[in-house]
Amino acid sequence: MAYMLVGQLVTQARVLLQDVDADRWSDDVLYTSLNMGLLEARRLRPDFYRDTMEFIPRYDPDDDVNEPVSFPVEFIPALINYMVGLVQMSDAEDTTDARAAVLLNTFITKLTQPVG
């Protein structure tokens, strides 16, 4: 497993959301999307959590910006896609619904397709 910091994942998601100044979505929303993505990854790929099946961390914006997230490096972009897709599902604009669905489906595809 490779490590990235929670804050790095949130920053990358903000770039894709075009919200680098945090004007549109709060840290709480992005941290919730990260936490949900990790839960969904656990469901799709329990092998990622073989040693920690009892405990999936729940990250908090007030305390965990510099915490490392243990997640396979080759799947980090998929996790960021999940975060962005989930956040965009709450957007009221019709055009973001299609993009959000593509991002969420990409996450599922990337985690479930055979590597190689």
Residue 1 pLDDT > 60: no
Q: In this predicted model, which residue has the larger pLDDT, 96 or 94?
A: 96
Residue 2 pLDDT > 60: no
In the chain, the percentage of residues whose pLDDT exceeds 70 is 90
Q: Mean pLDDT across the stretch 51-60?
A: 77
User: pLDDT band at residue 80, thresholds of 50, 70 and 90?
Assistant: very high
User: pLDDT band at residue 116, thresholds of 50, 70 and 90?
Assistant: low
Distance between CA atoms of residues 106 and 81, nearest Å:
7
DSSP state of 69: E
Q: How far is CA 6 from CA 36, 93, 96, 109, in A?
A: 14, 28, 25, 23
Q: CB neighbours (10 Å) of residue 94? A: 7
- Check: CB of residue 9 under 8 Å from CB of residue 79: yes
DSSP β-bridge partners for residue 69: 4
Residue 76 pLDDT > 80: yes
Enumerate the domain spans of the chain. Answer: 2-112
